[in-house]
Amino acid sequence: MSRREKTWWIVAGVAILIYCLFPIAWIVSVSLKAPSDLTNGQFLPTNSTLVNYREILTGGSKDLFLPALRNSFGICLIATAISCLLAMFAAYAIARLDFPGKKLILSTALVVAIFPVISIVTPLFNVWRQIGLYDTWPGLIIPYLSLTLPISIWTMSAFFREIPWEMEQAAQVDGATTWQAFRKVIVPLAAPGVFTTAIIAFFIAWNDFIYGISLTSTDAARPVPAALGLFSGASQFENPTGPIAAAAVIVTIPVVVLVLLFQRRIVAGLTNGAVKG
């Protein structure tokens, strides 16, 4: 590759980096601005300050933000775990066994994946109030399955399809017991797929907003995106922009860490599930 061509590709790469990171850099910058500095009309703060972070972590808004953070982690992790468990069995059956209904299950997952969330919220809002699930963790975990389960089934069955299952028999021929063959051969082969699926399902649950604002009313179950959307500052005279930006940065940190650690797997998971030749 010539020198000129090389420079050109680097320029293109840098352009993509700026495209992807610019809004993130901006929200970090807003979160570091003091209230008086917010309207400076500039990208960067005049003087960086952590006052907004103090406000949401230890100050007047901590009762709004910290419970929401706990709810988000708890609800999303449980919903992810349940859907991965269910999807694991389903994906094993789809990848490994020959039975009529495979196609039905995959198409159902597809239909559920494109289902408008608001059409689920409307009836649940009423039913949850009647049976006492409104504003509780299970009241969000159950509808979150409609977000996480279909993508888990698709992604995991795409991963499982690539596992060389014959190796299980090969191990047994070599004298391993069924349990040993499963534990020593199948689990290590299947684990990356399960793990990647869990990350993607977690992203989707973490991103939810509609269920969060519609099916909760207090900090008993309200997740972070909903708390952010309804956040109006500790008092009505305060501009909530700075604290919102600080909270936005904090909830972005976990996803950025996951992306940096597992980028290769996440890309494989996202594209395997949707496009496969």
Partner 1 sequence: MTQTTLPPVEKTQPKSAPHGTISDRSRAERKLGWMLAGPAFLVMLAVTAYPIAQAAYDSLFRYRLTDPDNRSFNGLSNYWVILSDNLWWTALGVTMLITVITVLVELVLGFALAMVMAKMLSSIRPVVRAAILIPYAVITVVSAFAWQFAFDIDTGFVNSWFAWIPGVSADTDWFGGQGTSLLVICLAEIWKTTPFISLLLLAGLAQVPEVLQEAAKVDGASWWQRLWKVTLPNMKAAIMVALLFRTLDAFRVFDSIFIMTNGANNTESVSFLAYRQTISRLEIGLGSAVSVLLFLCVVLLAGLFIKGFKVDLASARGEG
Interaction residues for partner 1, span 28-47 (CB under 8 A)? 30, 38-39, 41-43
Which of 57, 78, 234, 255 is the binder for partner 1 (CB under 8 A)? 255
Query: Which three-class secondary structure string do you get for the chain?
Result: CCHHHHHHHHHHHHHHHHHHHHHHHHHHHHHCCCHHHCCCCCCCCCCCCCHHHHHHHCCCCHHHHHHHHHHHHHHHHHHHHHHHHHHHHHHHHHHHCCCCCHHHHHHHHHHHHCCCHHHHHHHHHHHHHHHCCCCCHHHHHHHHHHHHHHHHHHHHHHHHHCCCCHHHHHHHHCCCCHHHHHHHHHHHHHHHHHHHHHHHHHHHHHHCCHHHHHCCCCCCCCCHHHHHHCCCCCCCCCCCHHHHHHHHHHHHHHHHHHHHHHHHHHHHHHHHHHCCC
Closest to partner 1 by CB, 171 vs 251, is 251
Is 83 within 8 Å of 152 (Cβ atoms)? yes
Looking only at residues 193 through 252 of this chain, which bind partner 1 when binding is defined by CB under 8 A? Answer: 203, 206-207, 209-210, 213-214, 224-225, 228-229, 241, 244-245, 248, 251-252
Q: Name every residue whose Cβ is closer than 8 Å to that of residue 239 and which is 6 or more positions away in sequence.
A: 35, 38, 233
Closest to partner 1 by CB, 66 vs 112, is 112
* Residue 187 engages partner 1 in binding (rule: CB under 8 A): no
Gap between the terminal Cα atoms of the chain: 30
| Shortest distance (Å) from residue 272 CB to partner 1 | 8
Distance CA 196, CA 218 (A): 33
Looking only at residues 106 through 145 of this chain, which bind partner 1 when binding is defined by CB under 8 A? Answer: 106-112, 114-127, 129, 142-143, 145
| Shortest distance (Å) from residue 187 CB to partner 1 | 17
| Shortest distance (Å) from residue 139 CB to partner 1 | 12
The mark string for 73-112 relative to partner 1 (x by CB under 8 A, - otherwise) is: -------------xx-xx-xxx--xxxxxxxxxxxxxxxx
Q: Which stretch binds partner 1 (CB under 8 A): 10-18, 62-70, 170-178, 190-198?
A: 10-18
* Residue 13 engages partner 1 in binding (rule: CB under 8 A): yes
| Shortest distance (Å) from residue 7 CB to partner 1 | 11
Which of 50, 191, 220, 256 is the binder for partner 1 (CB under 8 A)? 256
Distance CA 228, CA 209 (A): 10
| Shortest distance (Å) from residue 258 CB to partner 1 | 7
Q: Which stretch binds partner 1 (CB under 8 A): 45-53, 60-68, 184-192, 257-265?
A: 257-265
Question: With CB under 8 A, what is the number of residues at the site for partner 1?
Answer: 100
Q: Which stretch binds partner 1 (CB under 8 A): 2-10, 51-59, 173-181, 186-194?
A: 2-10
Closest to partner 1 by CB, 84 vs 185, is 84
| Shortest distance (Å) from residue 37 CB to partner 1 | 10
